[in-house]
C-alpha cells in the first residue's frame, strides 16, 4: 500500500476547508445513507433469474422495434443470443439499466410471447421503477435518466457504503490538506467542486442512456490529485508505504509528485478501457478521469499564473 | 547468508572489487516494489484492450474456448510489455525507475566499464520475467550468491550496484530482512502447495462429482419430462399442437398435476418459436392462433392459483375462441365437469381423454373410464397413468358390484382371485383385467 501524505495532517486547524468537507461528508452519510444507498435492492423480484430472463426476451423484442437504439448499444449486447438462458439473463440485466427501455416498456405493445406473463411483468416493472426512484443514491446521485440541477453538487457528498466513504475521506484528508496549504481554501474549493462537476459531465457523456446513478467524492478527489501532481511537479513529496505492519517495513518515502499520475490516474484510465462498455463494475472510472483532467488543467493554469 | 564457492572465479580477489558497491537486498526489494507500483498501471493500460476482450467473452459465454484464448493473449501482452519496457529502461538509463530512485544501477559484469548492450538488457529482462513463471524461486539465489546475482544476472553478465556512499552488505537490517522474506517465501510456498493440492484433488474428483450432480438432477427431474423428450425424439413429424396436447395430458396424468419441463417447453414456444404469434408485422394465422391457445392452456399446468388459471384460459379463448383448447379450458374451470362434452373432445385430444378418465373415475363411471383406457393402452407416454387408472377402475367396478361405498386408498389390494362380480359386464371387465395383467 502506498498513499501520498505530503503534509502533517494532525495540524488540522491549518486546513479548515478540508476538515469541514470531511465532517460534512460524514454527517451526510450517517443522516441519509447509513441504511445503505441501495437497501433491499438485491432482493427485488425483477433481479431474480426468472424475471431477468423474461426481461431479456422483452428487451430483444423492444430493440427490434427501436432500430435507432442499435447505434448506442454496446457491441457485446448486440452479440447476445436471446435463445440462450444465460445470455437472456445478461440481456435482462442490461435492459434494467437502459433508461429508454425502462421509460417506455410499460406502454410498449409486446406482441410476441405470453401476454399474461407480460402484463404481470409490466406490473412488476412499475413497482421496480418506483422502488428504484426512491433510493437515496438515485435521489442525490447523478444519472442520465433524471438529471436535476442540484445533483451536480449533491452527488459529490453522497456515498454508498462505509468503505466507500472511508476510502474517499482518507484521500480527501491526505491530498486535500496539501492542496489547501498550497492554494488556500478558495482555490481548493474551486478545484474540488468544479472537478466534481467535470467528473459528472464525463460520466454522463459516457453513459448517455444509463440508469445507474453515480455518487461519491472520487471525481473531486481525483481533481485534487491531478492539480497537486502538476502544481508541485518538481517537488518530491512524502508518501506513506506499508509492505508489512511490522517495524522497518513501513514508513515514509519521498517520491516525485508526478508519480501520483501513474499510481492513481493511469490506473483509472486502464480500468475504464478494460471495462466493457455499458457494463460498469461499480466504479465510475470516467468520473475519476473527468475530475483528473480538470485537476491537471487547473494545475497548469496555476503554474502559469504563478510563473507570471 | 553468504555461501562461499571457492571454485567460482568471482570469489577470488579482483583489483576493481573495492570500487564496486553491491546493492543491498533491502534497497533492491524496495526498488522492485516501486517498479511494481509504476509499471503495473502502464502495463495495465497496454493490456486494457485485451482484458476488455476477456471480460466480454466471459460475459457472453464463460465456457467458450475463446475465453481461454483471450486470457492467453492478455498474458502474452502483459509478459511482452513488461519484458520490453524493462529492457528499454536497462538499455537507456541502466536502471528501472525504482532502481533509479534507490540509486541503484545495472552494470555489465565483470567489465563494468563496458556499456550495457540491448541484447544484454533484453536477456536480463526476459529471464527476470520468466523467473516469475517458476514461482520466483530463481530469485532466491540472489540471497545466497556472494555478489547477489540471480540467474537473470549471471546469464546476462550484469550486476546491480549502488551509488550510495558507504553502503556495504550484508548488514544487520539486511540480514533480518533476508531471513524474514525467506520465511515468508517458504510459508507462501507451503500455502500454495496446499491450495494446489486441494485444487488438484477437486479437479480429479470434479468430473465425477459433476456426473453425480447431473445424475442426481436427472433423477430429480420428472421421469415424465424424460419420457416426453423421448417421445418427441421418436415422433419428430408430430405437429406442434399435438406436442402441446401431449404436454398437457402428461401433466394431468401426473399425480401432482405439474410438469417441471413445461416451463421451458412453453417458453420455447412463446419466445423462440416462429410459428407462434408472428409479431408486430404479420397477422396471426388461424393455425398459429390455435397453437397459441393450446400454449396458454398448457400454462395452467404450472399455475399456482385459480386466478392465474382462469386468466390463462380466458386468454386462450381470446386468442382462438372456437378452438378445442378454449373449450377444454372452460371445462376445467367448471365446478362440475361435463362428461358428455369431454367424450366428444376425447376423440381428438389426448389431454381431454386423460381428463375424461379422471372425471369418470371420480364419478364412478367405470365403463366410460375403461372404454377410454383401452384406447390409451398403446400410449407409452401414459403407461403409468394407464396402469394406475385401470386398477382404480377395476376396484371401482368391484365396489359397485358389491354395492359398497368408496374404499379408502389405504386398504390393501385384494388378490385377483378374490375379485368377483355379479354383473356380467363388470365380470367381463374383471376377466379382461386378469388377462391384461396376467393374473389368475
Nearest residue to B30 (alpha-carbon basis) of B190, B185, B189, B181:
B181
Q: Determine, for residues A275 and B315 on separate chains, whether the beta-carbon distance falls below 8 Å.
A: no
Q: What is the pLDDT of residue B222?
A: 53
Residue B217 — very low, low, confident or very high, per pLDDT cuts 50/70/90?
A: low
DSSP B22: B
Q: What is the pLDDT of residue B231?
A: 66
pLDDT exceeds cutoff 80 at B230: no
B22 bridge partner residues: B161
pLDDT exceeds cutoff 60 at B160: yes
Most confident listed range (A69-78, A164-173, A256-265, B355-364): A164-173
pLDDT 10s digits, B193-213 = 888 887 777 666 666 666 666
Q: How much is the mean pLDDT over chain A? A: 85
pLDDT exceeds cutoff 70 at A300: yes
Q: Chain A within 8 Å of B41 (Cβ-Cβ)?
A: yes
Alpha helices in B221-305 (DSSP H): 223-234, 240-253, 262-267, 286-299
Residue A196: count other Cβ atoms within 10 Å of its Cβ: 28
Q: How much is the mean pLDDT over chain B? A: 77
Residue B284: count other Cβ atoms within 10 Å of its Cβ: 17
Q: What is the pLDDT of residue A55?
A: 92
- Residue B4: strand, helix, or coil: coil
Q: What is the pLDDT of residue B13?
A: 42
Q: Chain A within 8 Å of B37 (Cβ-Cβ)?
A: yes
What average pLDDT does the segment A70-81 reach?
84
Task: Enter the C-alpha cell of residue A245.
Answer: 505492519
pLDDT exceeds cutoff 80 at B79: yes
The whole-angstrom distance between A244's CA and the closest CA on chain B is 11
Task: Enter the C-alpha cell of residue A68.
Answer: 435507432
pLDDT exceeds cutoff 80 at B169: no
Residue B38 — very low, low, confident or very high, per pLDDT cuts 50/70/90?
A: confident
B383 vs A28, residue with greater confidence: A28
CA–CA gap between residue B390 and residue B432 (Å, rounded): 11
Q: What is the pLDDT of residue B336?
A: 76
B428 vs B80, residue with greater confidence: B80
Q: What is the pLDDT of residue B78?
A: 94
Task: Enter the C-alpha cell of residue B59.
Answer: 460475459
CA–CA gap between residue B433 and residue A266 (Å, rounded): 84
- How large is the greatest C-alpha to C-alpha distance in chain B, in angstroms? 126
Whether the CB-CB separation of A201 and A152 falls below 8 Å is answered with no
B107 bridge partner residues: B159
What average pLDDT does the segment B209-226 reach?
59
pLDDT exceeds cutoff 90 at A301: yes
Q: What is the pLDDT of residue B121?
A: 93
DSSP A210: B
Q: Determine, for residues B280 and A111 on separate chains, whether the beta-carbon distance falls below 8 Å.
A: yes
What average pLDDT does the segment A103-120 reach?
88
The whole-angstrom distance between A77's CA and the closest CA on chain B is 9
pLDDT exceeds cutoff 80 at A148: yes
The whole-angstrom distance between A243's CA and the closest CA on chain B is 9
Q: Chain A within 8 Å of B266 (Cβ-Cβ)?
A: yes
What average pLDDT does the segment B62-66 reach?
82
What average pLDDT does the segment B41-66 reach?
87
% chain A with pLDDT above 70: 93
Set of chain A residues whose Cβ sits within 8 Å of the Cβ of B98: none
Q: Determine, for residues B272 and A83 on separate chains, whether the beta-carbon distance falls below 8 Å.
A: yes
Q: Determine, for residues B277 and A243 on separate chains, whether the beta-carbon distance falls below 8 Å.
A: no
What average pLDDT does the segment B88-112 reach?
88
Q: What is the pLDDT of residue B403?
A: 61
What average pLDDT does the segment A96-117 reach?
88
- Indicate the pTM of the whole model: 0.73
A201 vs B346, residue with greater confidence: A201
Most confident listed range (A231-235, A276-280, B11-15, B220-224): A231-235
Whether the CB-CB separation of B45 and A262 falls below 8 Å is answered with no
Q: What is the pLDDT of residue B177?
A: 65
Whether the CB-CB separation of A111 and B277 falls below 8 Å is answered with yes
Residues near A81 by beta carbon (within 8 Å), at least 6 away in sequence: A87
The whole-angstrom distance between A80's CA and the closest CA on chain B is 7
Q: What is the pLDDT of residue B12?
A: 42
Q: What is the pLDDT of residue A153?
A: 92
What is the rounded (10 degree) CA torsion for A44, A45, A47, A48?
A: 130
Most confident listed range (A71-85, B29-43, B275-289, B334-348): B29-43
Most confident listed range (A31-35, A249-253, B96-100, B210-214): B96-100
Q: What is the pLDDT of residue B15?
A: 43
Q: Determine, for residues A111 and B33 on separate chains, whether the beta-carbon distance falls below 8 Å.
A: no
Q: What is the pLDDT of residue A253?
A: 78
Chain A residue with Cα closest to B280: A111
Q: Determine, for residues B52 and A269 on separate chains, whether the beta-carbon distance falls below 8 Å.
A: no
CA distances in angstroms from A141 to A19, A100, A288, B52, B264, listed in the order given = 23, 19, 15, 27, 40
ipTM for this prediction: 0.79
Q: Determine, for residues A274 and B44 on separate chains, whether the beta-carbon distance falls below 8 Å.
A: yes
Residue A45 — very low, low, confident or very high, per pLDDT cuts 50/70/90?
A: confident
Q: What is the pLDDT of residue B341?
A: 82
Residue B244 — very low, low, confident or very high, per pLDDT cuts 50/70/90?
A: confident
Residue B279 — very low, low, confident or very high, per pLDDT cuts 50/70/90?
A: very low
pLDDT exceeds cutoff 90 at A199: yes
Set of chain A residues whose Cβ sits within 8 Å of the Cβ of B299: 114, 116
Set of chain A residues whose Cβ sits within 8 Å of the Cβ of B38: 259, 262-263
Residue A295 — very low, low, confident or very high, per pLDDT cuts 50/70/90?
A: very high
Q: Determine, for residues B295 and A90 on separate chains, whether the beta-carbon distance falls below 8 Å.
A: no
Least confident of A42-56, B219-233, B283-297: B219-233
Amino acid at each position: 500500500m502506498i498513499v501520498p501524505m505530503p503534509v502533517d495532517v494532525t495540524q488540522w486547524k491549518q486546513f479548515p476547508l478540508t476538515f469541514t468537507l470531511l465532517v460534512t461528508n460524514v454527517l451526510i452519510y450517517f443522516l441519509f445513507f447509513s441504511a445503505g444507498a441501495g437497501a433491499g435492492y438485491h432482493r427485488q423480484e425483477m433481479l431474480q433469474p426468472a424475471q431477468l430472463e423474461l426481461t431479456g426476451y422483452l428487451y430483444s423484442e423492444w430493440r427490434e422495434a427501436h432500430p435507432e437504439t442499435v447505434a448506442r448499444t454496446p457491441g457485446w449486447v448486440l452479440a447476445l443470443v436471446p435463445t440462450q438462458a444465460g445470455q437472456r439473463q445478461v440481456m435482462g440485466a442490461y435492459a434494467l439499466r437502459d433508461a429508454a427501455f425502462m421509460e417506455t416498456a410499460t406502454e410498449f405493445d409486446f406482441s410476441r410471447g405470453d401476454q399474461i406473463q407480460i402484463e404481470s411483468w409490466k406490473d412488476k416493472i412499475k413497482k421496480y421503477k418506483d422502488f428504484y426512484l426512491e433510493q437515496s443514491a438515485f435521489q442525490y446521485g447523478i444519472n442520465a435518466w433524471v438529471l436535476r440541477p442540484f445533483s451536480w453538487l449533491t452527488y459529490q457528498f453522497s456515498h454508498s457504503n462505509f468503505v466507500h466513504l472511508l476510502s474517499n475521506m482518507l484521500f480527501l484528508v491526505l491530498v486535500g490538506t496539501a492542496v489547501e496549504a498550497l492554494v488556500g481554501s478558495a482555490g481548493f474549493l474551486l478545484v474540488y467542486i468544479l472537478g466534481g462537476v467535470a467528473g459528472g459531465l464525463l460520466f454522463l457523456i459516457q453513459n448517455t442512456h444509463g440508469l445507474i446513478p453515480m455518487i461519491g467524492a472520487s471525481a473531486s478527489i481525483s481533481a485534487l490529485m491531478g492539480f497537486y501532481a502538476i502544481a508541485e511537479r518538481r517537488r518530491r513529496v512524502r508518501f506513506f508505504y506499508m509492505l508489512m505492519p511490522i517495524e522497518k517495513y513501513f514508513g515514509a518515502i519521498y517520491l516525485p509528485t508526478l508519480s501520483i499520475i501513474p499510481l492513481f490516474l493511469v490506473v483509472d484510465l486502464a480500468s475504464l478501457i478494460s471495462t466493457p462498455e455499458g457494463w460498469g463494475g461499480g466504479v465510475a472510472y470516467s468520473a475519476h478521469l473527468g475530475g483528473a483532467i480538470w485537476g491537471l488543467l487547473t494545475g497548469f493554469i496555476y503554474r502559469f499564473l504563478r510563473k507570471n | 547468508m553468504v555461501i562461499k564457492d571457492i571454485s567460482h572465479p568471482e570469489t577470488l580477489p579482483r583489483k576493481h572489487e573495492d570500487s564496486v558497491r553491491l546493492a543491498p537486498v533491502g534497497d533492491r526489494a524496495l526498488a522492485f516494489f516501486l517498479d511494481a507500483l509504476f509499471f503495473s498501471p502502464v502495463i495495465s493500460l497496454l493490456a486494457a484492450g485485451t482484458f476488455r476482450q476477456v471480460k466480454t467473452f466471459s460475459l457472453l459465454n464463460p465456457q467458450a474456448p475463446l475465453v481461454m484464448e483471450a486470457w492467453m493473449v492478455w498474458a502474452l501482452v502483459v509478459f511482452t510489455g513488461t519484458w520490453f519496457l524493462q529492457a528499454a529502461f536497462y538499455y537507456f538509463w541502466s536502471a528501472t525507475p525504482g532502481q533509479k530512485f534507490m540509486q541503484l544501477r545495472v552494470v555489465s559484469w565483470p567489465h563494468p566499464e563496458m556499456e550495457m548492450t540491448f541484447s544484454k538488457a533484453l536477456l536480463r529482462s526476459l529471464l527476470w520475467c520468466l523467473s516469475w513463471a517458476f514461482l520466483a524461486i530463481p530469485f532466491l539465489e540472489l540471497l545466497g550468491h556472494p555478489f547477489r546475482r540471480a540467474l537473470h544476472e549471471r546469464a546476462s553478465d550484469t550486476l546491480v550496484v549502488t551509488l550510495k556512499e558507504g553502503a556495504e552488505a550484508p548488514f544487520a537490517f539486511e540480514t533480518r530482512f533476508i531471513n524474514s522474506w525467506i520465511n515468508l517465501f517458504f510459508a507462501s510456498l507451503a500455502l500454495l502447495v496446499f491450495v494446489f493440492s486441494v485444487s488438484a484433488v477437486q479437479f480429479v474428483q470434479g468430473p465425477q462429482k459433476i456426473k453425480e450432480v447431473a445424475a442426481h438432477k436427472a433423477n430429480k427431474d420428472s421421469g415424465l419430462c424424460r419420457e416426453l423428450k423421448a417421445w418427441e425424439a421418436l415422433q419428430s413429424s408430430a405437429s406442434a399442437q399435438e406436442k402441446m396436447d401431449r404436454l398437457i395430458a402428461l401433466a394431468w396424468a401426473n399425480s401432482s398435476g405439474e410438469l417441471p419441463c413445461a416451463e421451458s417447453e412453453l417458453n420455447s414456444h412463446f419466445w423462440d418459436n416462429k410459428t407462434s404469434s408472428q409479431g408486430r408485422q404479420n397477422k396471426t394465422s388461424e393455425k398459429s392462433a390455435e397453437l397459441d391457445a393450446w400454449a396458454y392452456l398448457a400454462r395452467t399446468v404450472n399455475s399456482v392459483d385459480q386466478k392465474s388459471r382462469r386468466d390463462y384460459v380466458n386468454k386462450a379463448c381470446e386468442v382462438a375462441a372456437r378452438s378445442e383448447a378454449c373449450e377444454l379450458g372452460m371445462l376445467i374451470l367448471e365446478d362440475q365437469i361435463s362428461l358428455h362434452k369431454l367424450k366428444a373432445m376425447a376423440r381428438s385430444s389426448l389431454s381431454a381423454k386423460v381428463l375424461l378418465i379422471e372425471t369418470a373415475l371420480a364419478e364412478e363411471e367405470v365403463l366410460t373410464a375403461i372404454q377410454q383406457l383401452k384406447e390409451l393402452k398403446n400410449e407409452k407416454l401414459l403407461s403409468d397413468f394407464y396402469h394406475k387408472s385401470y386398477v382404480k377402475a377395476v376396484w371401482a367396478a368391484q365396489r359397485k358390484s358389491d354395492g359398497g361405498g368408496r374404499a379408502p386408498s389405504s386398504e390393501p389390494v385384494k388378490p385377483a382371485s378374490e375379485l368377483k362380480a355379479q354383473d356380467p359386464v363388470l365380470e367381463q371387465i374383471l376377466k379382461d383385467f386378469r388377462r391384461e395383467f396376467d393374473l389368475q
